[in-house]
Amino acid sequence: MTDETPEQTGLTRWKAALDKAVSDAKWNEYDCEIRTAVGEFNTHLAGSAGYLPLDWRLVKAMLWTETGAERKEWKTKPMQIGVPGDPGLASLLSGTEGGELILPPRWKGRLSAVSAQTMPSQNIRAGIGYLLMRMADFGYKSVLAADTKAYEVTVKAGDNLDRIAKVKGTTIELLKKLNPAANVLRPGQLLKYQKASIQRVITGWRTISTASIAQRYNGGGDPNYAKKLDYALSLIQKTKDVACTQ
């Protein structure tokens, strides 16, 4: 007899299976791929609104929790992103939800729905990208163009900041910043401006933890997800890292 609920029994069995996995080399098959991928994202996002480097071991724990080396998806979709019914991959690649800011430049155009669903290296990158997209806060602000030269425009009768911004390829926000005294426009008045546009930007980051991953990546599908991540991570942290060639 046992006092465990079915949910607790399932978690106990899962942990027992993972205990055996520690000594099985195939569970470490993607270590170098994960480390390389996480390094690419960390480099790309360094300094972005206070971004803190992602620990690659957390991602490895996600692979162990999401799939595990005994399941067939391990060879194609170890992060489970892109499986039937999962909206994550489409969200990441849509270009409208912030994924375009998260993906390192070298992967834009190379990471596709097909490649992420068939190649484990790209599935891992898609999973990391979606995780970071879900952890980021986004907003809109004026972003300077490559041409940072300062220009001047003469105010004409009937002009307003919105009209000037559209004609000159700048933004109201930047016009106000460069011309703080221009509360009321007068014909003949000179205004400074620089080329700019309103763009989506990363404004901040949620703390990346096993609990937040369970909420933002798994979406509550598995009530034991955070506990599984914690357990997998504790095992991974106790093992020696696989040597990777540069």
pLDDT digits (tens, 9 = 90+) for 87-118: 999 999 999 999 999 999 989 888 999 999 99
pTM, 2 dp: 0.86
Range of the domain at 172: 149-194
Q: How many domains does the chain have?
A: 2
Same domain, 96 and 162: no
- pLDDT surpassing 80 at residue 4: no
pLDDT score recorded for residue 7: 60
Q: Which residues lie below 8 Å from residue 43, measured CB to CB, with a gap of 6+?
A: 104
Are 70 and 155 within one domain?
no
29 and 98 part of one domain: yes
Q: Considering the chain, what is the average pLDDT of its residues? A: 92
State the pLDDT confidence band at 181, using cuts at 50, 70 and 90.
Answer: confident
**In a domain? residue 243:** no
- Do 55 and 73 sit in the same domain of this protein? yes
Q: Are residues 26 and 94 in the same domain?
A: yes
- Say yes or no: 64 and 122 in one domain: yes
171-192: b (≥16 Cβ within 10 Å) or e = bbebbeeebeebeebeeeeebe
Task: Flag whether 144 is in a domain.
Answer: no
Whole-number Å distance between alpha carbons of 171 and 161: 8
- 166 touches 198 (CB < 8 A): no
Out of 15-29, 69-83, 200-214, 215-229, pick the least confident: 215-229
Same domain, 70 and 128: yes
84 domain residue, yes or no? yes
227 belongs to a structural domain: yes
